[in-house]
Amino acid sequence: MGSPCSMLLIQTPCFELEDDRLEPPLGLLYLATWLNNHGYRAQIADLSSISPERWADTIPPADIYGFSTYTTTYHRTQKILTMTPIQAAELCIAH
């Protein structure tokens, strides 16, 4: 059996909040815990309070990427897609 694929779950920052670090990515944490407990390798990149200039350096390569995004942060998620290793990955958007 081959090694499990690597998954990176990304919390898109929400600059509209006074301090987006006060909104932890609980959904991503629950999902990553479940994935890790079932034989996958899942990590989280919480981009809260990280400036856009540092996003590309903060996101490591992975086989599969997942995002937590809201209507107000969707445009930021699209920007992250264009400036990271994700741009070379196969893209599937689920609403």
Q: Is the pLDDT of residue 32 over 90?
A: yes
pLDDT at residue 22, as a whole number: 72
pLDDT in tens, 50-81: 899 998 888 888 888 888 888 888 999 988 88
Here the tokens at position 69 are: 């995004």
For residue 2, the tally of other CB atoms under 10 A from its CB is 4
pLDDT at residue 38, as a whole number: 93
Is the pTM above the cut of 0.75?
Answer: yes
Measuring CA to CA, how many Å separate 18 from each of 50, 58, 62, 63, 65? 14, 22, 31, 33, 27
Residue 70 Rama label (left phi>0; alpha psi -120 to 50; beta): beta
* Whole-number Å distance between alpha carbons of 21 and 18: 9
